[in-house]
């Protein structure tokens, strides 16, 4: 956000979502997670540790809920919907567990962004909720304001305790190791996005024209010169390892992308607090949508035979 | 400024000016930010590496060695460092996918507690030594000049296959020994024995993806199984529209159970009774054709009517009726036995009862098909089991061994106390352990040889399940420690040491594998052009597809005999020592990512715990985190309880993984308990396997609370739409398959 | 405020400033020739960085007119420019100038199969994502008016006139302000996550 930019484009920064968002978008990265397929195996979470230099905090700090799991599998036992259907108030957990892979939802109306006193978290032209570590002063307002509780604060310096030599040789050089006092969270593997975008740019794969793209009921102004990436040209670490293929990731601005087709197919739209589905039986939903966070992650309901 | 009208927007602009100005000034001052000159070294290549561009990751194909499944992997390498594991999309076994243990392999490779120098026992303690010293000792004790008699030598390994198995067998032959004890805690040896008798093939392939209904009796397909990722990728297809139904029968919820449509808690050890009960319902209620079944089989099935089965298993009658109806209507189906069903004194009969269901339902040849025979039989996996462990203990009992070589297994940790294995092993005069880590077995060796990590070594593998390829393991980077050596190289050295003919010409194991690939039949290389090109192709793909020769499976029904359920007034509960994806059998307690990765079911991290049903907790008067003492006839362990409804009230489950000795790892030290230690000496009657789930225990309050460290807060959704569930009817209406259902 | 005094003060400030600006412009004339580019502004007086071999950039790049990318071959293909492998040095120096002490030292390294332990002169912090390839593409390969032979003028944006140096010195600040001002002038991206990783 440079000076000249501020002066010339001031009004753009104040533009509402209804007016096409506050950016000339390059991409709008989104995700769809099928809970019919997710088995809660945890492969995604460990892949995330490996890819994103996540620190190990140890048992004592896990007691204080200071774990740095950007991607975590939540497990719930209660299943009110099914109990009603099968009238089973059995003494057993008869329908198994309810697993929910939970990571930063990359909200388009992120509650973390407006409360950051130093603009360390902001929305990028990729539709991502960015976190700039150098800028972060550790106020933790953002994590207090996040309804999903998926921002993780470095209460300590972990680079010595978490990666004793030679474990540090595993660290991914494509992203920083965060130090004490900094907030961090899932980035949708920004380092992989960056490599793919750089590659597209190097190969002159760019969209020459600006465009206005409708995604569900939302409209986005897409910038000229944005990279033209193939769907599945790259994957996030969690998606790549997921043994059931439950995680689908891609560009919502690309009408041919798998993720966009899933959102459209499940009649879930961006920019809403309540979906108006033609077929209300479609499984897509967004967690805490009613809070008007406008998340870019759609889940598809778990299925059980009863 | 007075007198100037200034509107709000202009004011903001001015603020922007000064704010930006300050920011820019701040950014220009190279003070706290490390903008260094000459502080860091930059190293160039001496010779440029082909394919390698600094700053760009390169991927090399190899084979995962984290469990015996043998998934194909791609290792990401940058500037000579191996950074991450991804699945190899060309591997038909795992379709580019990896589990959490595969992901975490990189932390084994860079583990700070790796053994890097040879160790020799001197005056009771292991001390660092040179390779020459270590090899001299080995030569003295087991070399061609030694007085060692053949049968007094043994290899103790985990599952081995491929050319390592070939060389290992050659070494045994050269030594004149037949003692190869292959040991794994996670195995399906009992099912294999049953399959051999009833189907004529020990390890047929299960077509999970083809089944419309799977009823699994304790088989943790998605978790601790023969090939977790392979089964999981098939499961994903199984769950696509029209969506198959999964029923899991077990006494402690496994990962597979957690994903079941219907999870049935069965009284521990009565899985076979339920299987026969279902067979009974199919024959009697659903009038399935039983003409092909021998009379004695029909007689056994006839005994298990609805009420008897309900009484013995404790499964509600309507659930039995429902599963029987599903089995009758959903075709093809697949019924499997595993883990907790097999690990009983009557495990063989239980697995046979389950296989009877497949025969009645006509699943043989449909969802259970032949895996066939590998054209290179000597490379076939020698799968570990617990009979191998017991045979080792028996041989040691008889004082039958003078020298033992151990590779890729840790029997001192996994052996129950009643086997006294540590003591017996210590009595063997010469023990060599090929080790990466100072585990319990290595710490009792006379010589410890530090071996390469799997990511530094050459090897070939044939998976024990779905071995439709020879998987290539190639080094992803230079050895991290110049003083470790490859296992294959060492084996080759041992063969040369014995002067075995035919091995002298190979400079190293790489040379041996190259020659072996060169010796493959020419028709396998038809499209490659030249030998060198074929080798490059093999390295790029990471595997050599092979055509297995299919057999025709038999469907031989056998009469089984199952005990009635017996109460035990002194030890009323059943111990379930559960392996899981993550810690596996305890070998990954030294990997911090896996310690911090929560258990899928209880979400506990960094510790042991005991799973208990709320009714049992009520009876004992304990709450979550209260420590209980679990006592068998072999000893006692203590753990804090986790209370939930995914376990039978008669069962108490303690996961495997913790309770290691302090030398093993800084991450496993002083952590939790090892439930294997208190197993009773119960054997599976027909196979001689250790009955892992056959131990009875009693429970007592220890009188203290140690809050469980778990991921997340509440177990309940509290009316929030976090995980919403729909019924399969809705799914089929909107996503297809309604007509099929 | 007294207006007259204000004027006097500003003249007093302006004169040396004008002289300074003129000097700056004359010294910056070399860069000004790069078409379709506004060179970044800012200077830095770098410390002496001793190297295992005093590598004379001037002999290579100025006298012998070797293109920068001949040795720093990764610059157009990667985020890093790369130090040439020793084999590349020896490609020439197994026959050229073999009597010179520096080359003899190089040959020693080569024979030991060890790369010389070079010290980094230009280093951006670990949290910065900077890619050489995209900058070269923007200023050289996509710049029809700049023949690739003149790539050193673009390199000079951030590395100074290396061809006039023996061992390279850091002569540009390479701070965020330095980067951002250049991005503004040349319409580079301004999103934080483009460069902060």
Interface of A with B in 113-132 (CB under 8 A): none
Strands B610-612 and B635-643: parallel
CATH number at residue B406: 3.40.50.740
Residue B164, both tokens: 């390592």
Residue A125 lies in a domain: yes
Q: Provide the domain count of chain A.
A: 1
Please tell me if residue A239 touches chain B, with a CB cutoff of 8 Å. Answer: no
**A chain contacts of residue B223, beta-carbon cutoff 8 Å:** 41
Tell me the sheet residues that pair with B626: B705
Residues of B whose CB is below 8 A from C120: 36-42
Residues in chain A: 306
Mean pLDDT over B407-430 rounds to: 95
- The residue of chain B with its CA nearest to that of A9 is B13
- pLDDT band at A2; cut points 50, 70, 90: low
Residues B124 and B147 in one domain: yes
pLDDT digits (tens, 9 = 90+) for B240-274: 999 999 999 999 999 999 999 999 999 999 999 99
Structural domain includes residue A159:
yes
Pairing of strands A129-131, A121-123: antiparallel
Which pLDDT score is estimated for B26? 34
Handedness of CA B215, B220, B225, B227 (dihedral sign): positive
Partners of C193 on chain A (C-beta within 8 Å) are: 124, 126, 128, 130, 132, 190
What is the model's pLDDT at position B646?
A: 95
Check CB contact under 8 Å for B723 and A45: no
B17/chain C closest Cα distance in angstroms: 15
Together in a domain, B334 and B382: no
Residue B530 lies in a domain: no
Q: For residues B76 and B646, give the distance between their C-alpha atoms in angstroms, rounded to a whole number.
A: 39
Structural contact between residues B183 and B404, judged by C-beta atoms closer than 8 angstroms = no
The CA distance from B307 to B438, in Å, is 54
Whether residue A69 lies inside any domain: the answer is yes
pLDDT per position as a tens digit, A217-240:
888 889 888 999 999 999 999 999
CATH number at residue A183: 3.30.70.20
Q: How far, in Å, are B53, B74, B454, C169 from residue B70 at the CA level?
A: 30, 13, 12, 52
* Average pLDDT of span B7-32: 32
Q: What percent of chain A has pLDDT over 90?
A: 74
B443 with B308, same domain: the answer is no
Instruction: Domain count for chain B, please give it.
Output: 3
- To test the contact with chain A by mutation, choose from B103, B317, B477, B588 the residue with the greatest count of A C-beta atoms within 10 A, namely B103
| Cβ–Cβ gap A39/B607 under 8 Å | no
Instruction: Say if B76 falls within a structural domain.
Output: no
Residue of A nearest to B19 (CA): A3
Instruction: Let me know whether B198 and B240 are in one domain.
Output: yes
Q: How far apart are CA A188 and CA A249, in angstroms?
A: 9
Same domain, yes or no: B154 and B224: no
Task: Indicate whether B350 and B247 sit together in one domain.
Answer: yes
Sign, CA dihedral C108-C114-C119-C124, equals positive
Cα–Cα dist B535/B513, whole Å = 10
Q: Do A202 and C129 touch (CB under 8 A)?
A: no
Backbone angles phi, psi at B336, to 5 degrees: -130, 145
Q: What is the pLDDT of residues C133-170, one digit of tens each?
A: 999 999 999 999 999 999 999 999 999 999 888 888 88
Q: Report the neighbours of C using a cutoff of 3 or more CB pairs below 8 angstroms.
A: A, B
Q: Chain B partners of C84 at a C-beta cutoff of 8 Å?
A: 44
B364 and B418 part of one domain: no
Q: How far is CA B446 from the centre of its chain?
A: 29
From the list C43, A229, C62, A67, the residue with the least C-alpha distance to B711 is: A67
B48–C87 CB contact, under 8 Å: yes
Cα gap B592→B583, rounded to integer Å: 11
Question: What contacts C79, CB < 8 A, 6 or more positions away?
Answer: A198, B55, B56, C129, C130, C131, C132, C133
Q: What dihedral angle (degrees, nearest 10) is formed by the CA atoms of B334, B339, B345, B347?
A: 10
CA angle A186, A190, A196 (to 5 degrees): 150
Residue with tokens 């029904």: B557
Looking at the fold, whether B166 and B134 belong to one and the same domain comes out as yes
- C42: closest chain B residue by CA: B28
Q: SS3 of C184, please?
A: helix
CATH of the domain at B225: 3.40.228.10
pLDDT digits (tens, 9 = 90+) for B153-181: 999 999 999 999 999 999 999 999 999 99
Is pLDDT above 90 for A33? yes
Residues B213 and B320 occupy one common structural domain: yes
Residue B264 counted as domain residue: yes
B194 and B142 within one domain: no
In a domain? residue A3: no
| pLDDT of amino acid A81 | 60
Taking an 8 Å cut-off on Cβ atoms, the answer to whether A134 and C134 are in contact is no
Using CB atoms, pick whichever of C126, C127, C193 lies closest to residue A190.
Answer: C193
Q: Where are the domains of chain C?
A: 33-83+118-195, 85-115
And the tokens for B219?
């088989």
What average pLDDT does the segment A79-101 reach?
75
User: What is the pLDDT at residue B44?
Assistant: 84
Task: Looking at the structure, tell me whether residues B323 and B429 fall in a common domain.
Answer: no
Q: What is the mean pLDDT of residues B721-740?
A: 85
* Domain assignment present for B97: no
Task: Give kind and range of the element (H or E) at residue A31.
Answer: strand A29-34
B553 in any annotated domain: no
- Distance separating alpha carbons of residues B23 and B19, to the nearest angstrom: 6
Print the domain residue range for B692. Answer: 573-705
Q: Is the pLDDT score of B17 beyond 90?
A: no
Quote the tokens at residue C43.
């200077």
Cα separation, B100 vs B84, in Å, equals 12
The lowest-confidence range among A191-195, B342-346, C1-5 is: C1-5
Whether A198 sits inside 8 A of C134 (CB atoms) is yes
Please report the pLDDT score of residue A10 as a whole number.
58
Model confidence over B451-465: pLDDT tens digits?
A: 999 999 999 999 999
Contacts of A91 (CB under 8 A, 6+ apart): B613, B614, B615, B645
Residues B335 and B415 in one domain: no
Instruction: Give domain status of residue A305, yes or no.
Output: no
> Is there a domain that residue B66 lies in?
no
Strand locations in B147-265 (E): 153-157, 180-182, 205-206, 213-217, 245-250, 262-265
> What's the 3-state SS for B278-301?
HHHHHHHCCCCCCCCCCHHHHHHH
Q: What is the mean pLDDT of residues C160-188?
A: 90
- Domain annotation covers residue B495: yes
Q: Strands across the sheet with B58-63, in order?
A: B58-63, B72-78, B81-87
Total residues found in chain C within this entry: 197
pLDDT above 50 for A96: yes
Among A8-22, B473-487, C107-121, the least confident range: A8-22
Give pLDDT, residue A22.
Answer: 61
Task: Please report how many Cα atoms fall inside a 13 Å half-sphere around the Cα of residue B310, on the Cβ side.
Answer: 10
Q: Is residue A306 part of a domain?
A: no
Mean residue pLDDT of chain B comes to: 91
User: b/e string for B96-128 if b means 16 or more Cβ within 10 A?
Assistant: bbbbbbbbbbbbbbbbbbbbebbbbbeeeebee
Contacts of B47 in chain C (CB under 8 A): 85-87
Note the pLDDT tens digit of each residue in A257-273: 999 999 999 999 998 88
Asked if residue B411 is part of any domain, the answer here is yes
């Amino acid at each position: 956000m440079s000076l000249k930019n501020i002066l010339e484009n001031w009004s753009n920064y104040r533009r509402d979502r209804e007016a096409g968002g506050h950016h000339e978008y390059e991409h709008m990265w989104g995700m769809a997670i099928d809970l019919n397929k997710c088995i809660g195996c945890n492969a995604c979470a460990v892949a995330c540790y490996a890819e994103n230099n996540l620190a190990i905090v140890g048992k004592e700090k896990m007691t204080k809920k200071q774990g740095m799991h950007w991607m975590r599998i939540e497990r719930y036992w209660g299943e009110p919907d099914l109990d009603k259907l099968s009238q089973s108030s059995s003494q057993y957990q008869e329908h198994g567990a309810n697993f929910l892979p939970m990571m930063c939802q990359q909200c388009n109306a992120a509650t973390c962004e407006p409360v950051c006193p130093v603009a360390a978290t902001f929305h990028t032209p990729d539709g991502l909720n960015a976190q700039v570590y150098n800028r972060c002063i550790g106020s933790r307002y953002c994590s207090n304001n996040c309804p999903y509780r998926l921002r993780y604060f470095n209460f300590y310096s972990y680079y010595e305790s978490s990666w004793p030599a030679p474990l540090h040789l595993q660290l991914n050089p494509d992203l920083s190791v965060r130090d004490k006092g900094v907030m961090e969270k899932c980035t949708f593997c920004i380092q992989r996005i960056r490599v793919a975008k750089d590659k597209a740019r190097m190969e002159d794969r760019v969209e020459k024209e600006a465009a206005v793209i409708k995604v569900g009921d939302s409209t986005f102004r897409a910038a000229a010169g944005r990279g033209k990436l193939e769907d599945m040209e790259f994957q996030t670490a969690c998606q790549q390892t997921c043994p059931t293929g439950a995680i689908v990731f891609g560009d919502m601005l690309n009408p041919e992308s798998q993720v966009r087709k899933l959102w459209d197919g499940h009649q879930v739209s961006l920019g809403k607090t309540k979906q108006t589905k033609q077929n209300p039986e479609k499984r897509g939903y967004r967690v805490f949508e009613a809070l008007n966070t406008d998340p870019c992650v759609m889940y598809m309901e778990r299925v059980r035979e009863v | 400024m007075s007198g100037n009208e200034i509107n709000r927007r202009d004011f903001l602009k001015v603020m922007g000016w000064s704010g930006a100005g300050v920011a820019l000034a701040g950014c220009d001052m190279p003070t706290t930010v490390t903008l260094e000159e000459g502080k860091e070294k930059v190293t160039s290549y001496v010779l440029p590496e082909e394919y390698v561009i600094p700053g760009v990751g390169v991927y090399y194909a190899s084979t995962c060695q984290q469990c015996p499944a043998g998934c194909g992997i791609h290792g990401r390498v940058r500037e000579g460092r191996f950074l991450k594991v991804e699945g190899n999309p060309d591997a038909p076994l795992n379709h580019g996918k990896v589990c959490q243990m595969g992901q975490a392999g990189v932390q084994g490779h860079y583990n700070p507690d790796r053994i890097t120098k040879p160790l020799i026992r001197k005056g009771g303690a292991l001390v660092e030594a040179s390779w020459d010293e270590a090899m001299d000792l080995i030569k003295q004790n087991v070399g061609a000049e030694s007085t060692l008699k053949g049968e007094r030598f043994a290899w103790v390994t985990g599952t081995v296959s491929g050319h390592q198995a070939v060389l290992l067998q050659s070494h045994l032959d050269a030594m004149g020994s037949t003692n190869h004890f292959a040991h794994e805690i996670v195995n399906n040896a009992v099912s294999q024995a049953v399959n051999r008798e009833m189907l004529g093939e020990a390890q047929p392939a299960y077509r999970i993806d083809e089944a419309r209904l799977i009823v699994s009796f304790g088989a943790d397909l998605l978790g601790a199984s023969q090939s977790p990722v392979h089964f999981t990728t098939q499961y994903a297809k199984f769950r696509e529209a029209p969506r198959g139904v999964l029923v899991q029968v077990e006494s402690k919820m496994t990962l597979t159970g957690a994903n079941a449509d219907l999870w049935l808690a069965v009284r521990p050890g009565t899985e076979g009774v339920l299987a026969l009960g279902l067979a009974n319902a199919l024959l009697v209620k659903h009038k399935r054709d039983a003409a092909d079944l021998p009379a004695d089989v029909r007689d056994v099935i006839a005994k298990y009517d609805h009420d008897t089965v309900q009484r013995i298993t404790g499964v509600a009658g309507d659930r039995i009726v429902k599963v029987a109806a599903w089995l009758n209507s959903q075709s093809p189906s697949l019924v499997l036995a595993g883990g907790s069903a097999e690990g009983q004194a009557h495990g063989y009969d239980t697995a046979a009862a389950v296989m009877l269901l497949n025969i009645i339902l006509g699943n043989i040849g449909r969802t259970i098909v032949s895996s066939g025979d590998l054209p290179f039989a000597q490379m076939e996996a020698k799968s570990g089991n617990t009979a191998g462990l017991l045979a080792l203990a028996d041989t040691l009992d008889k004082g039958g061994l003078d020298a033992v070589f151990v590779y890729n297994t840790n029997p001192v940790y996994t052996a129950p106390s009643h086997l006294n294995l540590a003591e017996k092993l210590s009595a063997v005069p010469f023990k060599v352990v090929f080790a990466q880590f100072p585990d319990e077995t290595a710490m009792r060796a006379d010589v410890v040889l530090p071996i390469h990590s799997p990511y530094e070594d050459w090897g070939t593998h044939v998976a024990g399940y779905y071995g439709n390829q020879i998987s290539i393991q190639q080094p992803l980077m230079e050895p991290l420690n110049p003083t470790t050596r490859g296992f294959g190289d060492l084996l080759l050295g041992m063969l040369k040491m014995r002067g075995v003919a035919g091995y002298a010409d190979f400079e190293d194991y790489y040379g041996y594998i190259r020659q072996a690939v060169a010796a493959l039949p020419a028709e396998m290389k038809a499209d490659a052009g030249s030998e060198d090109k074929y080798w490059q192709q093999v390295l790029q793909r990471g595997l050599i597809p092979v055509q297995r020769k299919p057999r025709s499976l038999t469907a031989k029904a056998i009469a089984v005999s199952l005990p009635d359920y017996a109460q035990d007034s002194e030890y009323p509960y059943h111990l379930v020592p559960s392996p899981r994806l993550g810690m596996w059998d305890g070998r990954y307690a030294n990997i911090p990512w896996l310690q911090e990765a929560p258990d899928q079911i209880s979400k506990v991290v960094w510790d042991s715990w005991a799973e208990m049903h709320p009714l049992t907790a009520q009876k004992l008067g304990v709450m979550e985190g209260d420590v209980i003492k679990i006592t068998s006839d072999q000893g006692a362990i203590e753990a804090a309880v986790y209370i939930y409804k995914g376990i039978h009230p008669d069962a108490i489950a303690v996961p495997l993984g913790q309770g290691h000795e302090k030398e093993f790892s800084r991450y496993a030290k002083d952590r939790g308990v090892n439930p294997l230690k208190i197993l009773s000496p119960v054997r599976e009657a027909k196979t001689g396997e250790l009955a892992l789930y056959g131990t009875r225990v009693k429970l007592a309050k220890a009188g203290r609370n140690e809050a469980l460290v778990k991921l997340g807060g509440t177990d309940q959704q509290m009316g929030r739409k976090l995980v919403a569930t729909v019924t399969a009817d809705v799914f089929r209406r909107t996503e297809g398959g309604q007509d099929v259902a | 405020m007294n207006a007259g005094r204000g004027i006097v003060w500003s003249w007093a400030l302006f004169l040396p400033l004008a002289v300074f600006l003129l000097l700056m412009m004359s010294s910056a004339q070399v860069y000004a020739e790069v078409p379709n580019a506004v060179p970044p502004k800012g200077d830095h007086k770098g410390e002496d960085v001793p190297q295992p071999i005093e590598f004379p950039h001037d002999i290579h790049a100025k006298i012998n007119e070797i293109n920068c990318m001949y040795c720093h071959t990764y610059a157009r293909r990667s985020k890093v420019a790369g130090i040439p492998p020793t084999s590349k040095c020896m490609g020439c120096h197994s026959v050229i100038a073999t009597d010179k002490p520096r080359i003899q030292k190089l040959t020693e390294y080569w024979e030991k199969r060890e790369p010389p332990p070079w010290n980094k002169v230009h280093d951006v912090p670990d949290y910065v994502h900077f890619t050489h390839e995209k900058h070269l593409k923007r200023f050289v390969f996509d710049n029809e008016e700049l023949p690739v032979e003149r790539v050193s003028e673009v390199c000079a944006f951030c590395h100074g006139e290396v061809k006039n140096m023996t061992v390279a010195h850091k002569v540009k600040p390479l701070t965020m302000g330095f980067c951002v001002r250049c991005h503004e002038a040349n319409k580079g991206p301004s999103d934080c996550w483009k460069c902060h990783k």
